[in-house]
């Protein structure tokens, strides 16, 4: 390669590397602002500010959804499987809202550690499958769970 | 190898060779894209959770993938412009920037249309969506900067620097869903793992991505040829081409 071109290439690569480091440091420093929501663990650890509009995200805990028969009020627990936060919301939930499904809620954390949401968005994961496969998987996992409990019973600890 | 590389830099040579490839690119691209989109929209099974609304993936993913892919190609060309001062590289950047802009817009638009029924919102300022919006502005900035400078050579260098600076955004888009909490789900396709969707869904998706790639190739050739003709209009080969209709 021609020496001039080599020099130009070195300069360009050097600048790119420097720029990457600068951007990496900036985004790392701002990571809490870039994160869309607080995890239930962060909220229960007291990292989330109280009575400030924030977002909380996680999975809707199985069997935790309680609907008020008189109104649109819903209460449920949002979990990341290490901590969970109670959420209350009045309004229409997105179609994908279900137990075991991911959500992101916008609202305020009150003094009692309850999250009062004014907007609930559904988050879906990266897995796609036909309905038949999903139901077959569910059956298989139920059967697996059954045999697992049976084997636990028979096992002596 | 270097000889081929320098030959590639000759606008006249590129003009001749691209004319031969273009019909194949267009035919293959249209065929693959049609096959992928029709298969995906009409015949692929629906998703267990999202039902039919997930089918917009067959348009959203190809456009979003190409929007980033085009930028990476532009950045490589920009590097060639800066280091080797090759005219054809600058022609490429100039020719494909509007194509990238349209692809990015389509990715954002189809994403919004998909987001409304599944997430419950058209737009959210999460890291993936915001970095993709920055990509849209980068494309816009590249086009604007190129138009703003009259001198061809200074425009080429200024644009190349902007394109290269903007390339930092590409890994941010790609890994935004892993580095930060986002509403957008993580990638379904990873290089090292099996895709988390069955073959009857990812095969049509792959076909439409390949089809869009080929159509992009054709579009890039058309736009580069136009740019070459207007830049080289005073040369003898262009005059001969206009008179005879071939190079």
- In this prediction, residue A146 carries a pLDDT of 63
Give the separation between CA B149 and CA B128, rounded to whole angstroms. 32
A121-156 pLDDT, tens digit per residue, is 998 888 888 888 888 888 887 777 666 555 544 443
Question: Could you tell me whether strands A102-109 and A115-123 are parallel, antiparallel, or unpaired per DSSP bridges?
Answer: antiparallel
Tens digits of residue pLDDT in A88-114: 999 888 888 888 889 999 999 988 889
Q: Indicate the burial class of A2 (C-beta count within 10 angstroms; 0-12, 13-18, 19 or more).
A: exposed
Question: What are the boundaries of each domain within chain B?
Answer: 30-43+55-216
Per-residue pLDDT tens for A18-77? 999 999 999 988 888 888 899 999 998 888 888 889 999 999 998 889 998 888 899 999
Q: From the CB of residue A107, how many other CB atoms can be counted at a distance below 10 Å?
A: 19
pLDDT in tens, B207-234: 999 999 999 999 999 999 999 999 888 8
Pick from B50, B183, B196: which is nearest to A36 by CB?
Answer: B183
pLDDT computed for residue B74 by the predictor: 97
A54 touching B (Cβ < 8 Å)? no
Residue B121: list chain A partners with CB under 8 A.
119, 121
- Among A30-34, A126-130, B15-19, B76-80, top mean pLDDT goes to B76-80
Mean pLDDT of B50-59: 90
DSSP H helices, chain B, are 2-8, 11-38, 57-84, 87-118, 127-148, 152-166, 169-179, 199-231, 236-244
- pLDDT, residue A74, reads 92
Q: pLDDT for B165-206, tens place per residue?
A: 999 999 999 999 999 888 998 888 887 788 888 888 999 999
Place of tokens 């606008």: B11
Q: Which of A19, A37, A96 is the closest to B118 by Cβ?
A: A96
Confidence of residue B164 (pLDDT cuts 50, 70, 90): very high
pLDDT of residue B35: 96
Residue with the bigger pLDDT between B60 and B194: it is B60
Token pair, residue B211, equals 């089809």
Torsion from C-alpha of B126, B131, B133, B135, nearest 10 degrees: -170
3-state secondary structure B171-226: HHHHHHHHHCCCCCCCCCCCCCCCCCCCHHHHHHHHHHHHHHHHHHHHHHHHHHHH
Contacts of A35 in chain B (CB under 8 A): 127, 180-181
Count of A-B CB contacts under 8 Å:
110
CB contact under 8 A, A36 and B119: no
Query: Strand A84-90 relative to strand A115-123: parallel, antiparallel, unpaired?
Result: parallel
d(CA B92, CA A150): 66
**CA nearest to B45 within chain A:** A130
Q: Give me Rg for the CA atoms of chain B.
A: 20
* B39-45: long-range pairs with CB below 8 Å, 24+: B39/B203, B39/B204, B39/B207, B40/B201, B40/B204, B40/B205, B40/B208, B43/B204, B44/B200, B44/B201, B44/B204, B45/A130, B45/A131, B45/A132, B45/B198, B45/B200, B45/B201
Sequential DSSP letters for A23-81:
HHHHHHHTHHHHSSSB-HHHHHTT-SPTTSEEEEEEEEPTT--EE-TTSSEEEEEEE-S
**Residue B41 confidence class, pLDDT cut points 50, 70, 90:** very high
Q: HSE on the CB side for B35, CA within 13 Å?
A: 15
Cβ distance of B179 and A9 shorter than 8 Å: no
**What integer pLDDT is reported at residue B192 of this predicted model?**
77
Is the Cβ pair A123, B119 closer than 8 Å?
A: yes
**Which chain B residues touch A if contact means CB-CB below 8 Å?**
45-50, 54, 57, 79, 82-84, 117-121, 124-127, 164-165, 167-168, 172, 179-183, 185-188, 196-198, 200-201
3-class DSSP state of A87: strand
Model-level pTM? 0.88
pLDDT for position A155: 44
**Residue-averaged pLDDT of chain A:** 85
- What ipTM does the predicted assembly reach? 0.79
C-alpha separations of B14 from A44, B11, B126, B221 in Å: 63, 5, 42, 9
């Amino acid at each position: 390669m021609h020496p001039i071109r080599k020099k130009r290439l070195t300069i360009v690569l050097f600048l790119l590397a420097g720029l990457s480091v600068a951007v990496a440091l900036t985004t790392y420093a701002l990571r809490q602002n870039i994160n869309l929501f607080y995890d239930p663990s962060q909220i229960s650890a007291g990292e989330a500010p109280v009575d400030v509009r924030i977002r909380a995200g996680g999975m809707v805990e199985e069997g935790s959804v309680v609907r008020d028969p008189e109104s649109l009020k819903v209460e449920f627990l949002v979990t990341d499987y290490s901590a969970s936060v109670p959420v209350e919301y009045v309004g229409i939930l997105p179609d994908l809202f279900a137990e075991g499904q991911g959500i992101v809620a916008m609202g305020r954390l009150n003094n009692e550690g309850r999250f009062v949401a004014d907007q609930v968005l559904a988050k879906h994961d990266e897995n796609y499958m036909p309905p038949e496969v999903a139901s077959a998987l569910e059956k298989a996992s139920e059967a697996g769970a059954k045999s697992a409990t049976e084997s636990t019973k028979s096992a002596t600890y | 190898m270097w000889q081929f590389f320098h030959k590639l830099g000759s606008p006249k040579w590129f003009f001749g060779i691209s004319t031969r490839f273009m019909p194949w690119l267009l035919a293959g691209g249209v065929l693959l894209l049609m096959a992928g989109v029709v298969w995906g929209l009409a015949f692929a099974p629906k998703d267990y959770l999202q039902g039919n609304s997930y089918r917009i993936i067959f348009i959203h993913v190809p456009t979003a993938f190409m929007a980033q892919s085009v930028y990476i190609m532009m950045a490589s060309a920009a590097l060639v412009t800066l280091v080797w001062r090759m005219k054809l590289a600058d022609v490429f950047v100039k020719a494909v920037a509007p194509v990238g802009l349209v692809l990015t817009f389509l990715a954002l638009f189809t994403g919004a249309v998909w987001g409304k029924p599944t997430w419950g919102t058209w737009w959210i300022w999460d890291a993936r969506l915001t970095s993709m919006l920055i990509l849209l502005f980068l494309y816009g900035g590249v086009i604007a900067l190129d138009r703003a400078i009259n001198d061809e050579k200074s425009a080429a260098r200024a644009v190349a620097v902007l394109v290269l600076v903007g390339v930092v955004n590409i890994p941010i888009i790609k890994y935004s869903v892993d580095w930060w909490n986002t509403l957008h789900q993580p990638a379904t396709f990873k290089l090292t793992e099996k895709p988390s969707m069955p073959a009857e869904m990812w095969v049509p998706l792959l076909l439409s991505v390949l089809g869009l790639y080929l159509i992009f190739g054709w579009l890039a050739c058309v736009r580069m040829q136009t740019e070459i003709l207007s830049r080289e209009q005073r040369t003898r080969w262009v005059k001969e081409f206009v008179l005879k209709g071939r190079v």
